[in-house]
Structure 1
Amino acid sequence: MEKRRLTRSNNRMIAGVCSGIADYFGWDITLVRIVYVLATFFTVFSGGIVYLILWLIMPEVKRNED
């Protein structure tokens, strides 16, 4: 079994948090972004604080230097 890690993705708009979550669970990136924006608006923008925390604690994916 392959060990997976939750990392920020290179396929990013701001920091790669949503795309990292989508990659980890195998979900569509656009759907994760839409759900995250809706959840942020309906929780009085506390999603922005969660996003900043995830940005700080999620490691960035290691790039292969070719």
Structure 2
Amino acid sequence: MASRLVRPGSGKLIAGVCAALADRFNLSRGLVRLVFVIFGLVGAGELAYIILWIIIPKERR
């Protein structure tokens, strides 16, 4: 079973959204970041990233 969807406290570049999605769905963090960059080039990535940043809780230590 995959882990919960939470932004990690470490191993993140900006807010941890891509790391959270990659960890949750067992994907490469680099792959998820690349997808967000591609979506950003067409205008959808930034808005999706900000929305996910707001709704994905931060990992508790």
Q: TM-score range by the shorter chain?
A: 0.7 to 0.9
Structure 1 segments unaligned to the other structure (5+ residues): none
How far off its partner does 1:62 sit?
1.2
Which residue pairs with 2:47 in the alignment? Answer: 49
Aligned residues: 60
For structure 2, list consecutive stretches of 5 or more residues without a partner in the other structure: none
Tell me: higher relative CO, structure 1 or 2? Use CA pairs within 8 A at least 6 residues apart.
Answer: 2
Q: Indicate the SS of the match to 2:58.
A: coil
> For residues 13-65 of structure 1, what are the alpha-carbon distances to aligned partners after superposition, in whole Å with 9 as ceiling and x for unaligned?
11000000000011110111011101221x3x2211111111111100111xx
Identity %: 40
* Distance in 1 between residues matched to 2:59 and 2:34, nearest whole Å: 23
TM-score (norm 2): 0.83
| Greater gyration radius | 1
Q: Which residue does 2:27 correspond to in 1?
A: 27
Change (3 A) 1:34 1:4: same
Aligned Cα RMSD in Å?
A: 1.6
State TM-score, norm by structure 1: 0.78
